[in-house]
Amino acid sequence: MAVAKRIDGKAKAAELAESITRDTAALLDEYGIKPGLAVIIIGEDPASQVYVRNKKRTAEACGFNSVQHTLAEDVSQADVLQLIDELNNDGAIHGILVQLPLPDHLDEQSITQAVAPSKDVDGFHFVNIGKLTAGHTADAFVPCTPAGCMLMIEDELGRDLSGKNAVIIGRSNIVGKPMAALLLQVNATVTITHSRTKDLPKVVAGADIIIAAVGRPNMVKADWVKPGAVIIDVGINRVEKIIDGEMKMGLTGDVDFDDVSTVAGAVTPVPGGVGPMTITMLMANTLRSARLAAGLEG
């Protein structure tokens, strides 16, 4: 029985981070510019705390100026917007990231849209979304998770996906929709599926490329998968699983990794697949923002 190739996102991310670290050192050496990343975290959400720690550690390892603003759970909308305005006008800051989810009393849309498009390294601003959708990405920021997914797909299938059918499970603004735009740019034939799609397994079964991003543990099974397909699992679900012989809480994806590995050509694991790539692409966007601000790109 064939076993799918395990796409090692951790190794790919480490390789990219090395390149970003070299380019960051060169930017400082040649132009005296140090990329600055500001992260705003509101409240005490444990998962958010972990993500922010990882982002800060990676930014510092790449040689960035890493700034964290930790705000109280009950902070007012006006105070958050004022902080974003100050960071928009700070020449030493090239990327601004507002860690989601936000407390219920804050308006996520008005906060994410307050970040200047030129510093929106998450790629959530409508200006960046519009540029991506129109295919004008020279000076736009692509959301980090889809950008990382595309690099892993490229490693497996090359840069031109002409004749390949790609099926995306999930239509979120953070993954599903930008993923579709990126796949279209490299000539894939793209289908976006979601909770209202009829006969989902049948639709997925025609795919050469599957991107699973719905947040349902182990949903994609071997009988959904075309032999040889490349599968990118974006799902991060906390579930009880056997770890070292004991039942513990662990992470699993939207894809049943062991099951699909008997059919697929290549598949990303969870953890160790898309997650590390997402953080590294955030660093790539921040470095690019610093270069764009200095007139070195674009």
Strand pairing partners for 37? 66, 95
Which residues fall within 8 angstroms of residue 223, CB to CB, at 6 or more apart?
A: 201, 205
Return left, alpha or beta for 264; rule: phi > 0 is left, psi -120 to 50 is alpha, else beta.
Answer: beta
Strand pairing partners for 66? 37
Residue 208 is among the residues annotated as catalytic for this protein: no
CA distances from 241 to 27, 54, 94, 137, 220 (A): 45, 24, 41, 41, 17
Residue 82 is among the residues annotated as catalytic for this protein: no
In which residue are the tokens 């500001």 written?
A: 38
Beta carbons of 129 and 182 less than 8 angstroms apart: no
CA distances from 291 to 34, 42, 171, 253 (A): 10, 29, 32, 35
Angle at 169 between CA 263 and CA 119, to 5 degrees: 120
Mark out the alpha helices in 107-236 (DSSP H runs). Answer: 108-114, 126-134, 144-157, 176-185, 200-204
Q: Which of 217, 187, 185, 221 is nearest to 204 (CA)?
A: 221
Mark out the alpha helices in 238-293 (DSSP H runs). Answer: 257-260, 274-293
Residue 77 is among the residues annotated as catalytic for this protein: no
CA 248 to CA 274: how far, in whole Å?
Answer: 22
Active-site hit among 23, 99, 119, 233? 99
Active-site hit among 12, 119, 120, 122? 122
Q: Which of 206, 216, 207, 210 is nearest to 153 (CA)?
A: 210
CA 132 to CA 159: how far, in whole Å?
Answer: 17
Count CB-CB contacts under 10 A for residue 198.
Answer: 7
Active-site residue list: 55, 99, 122
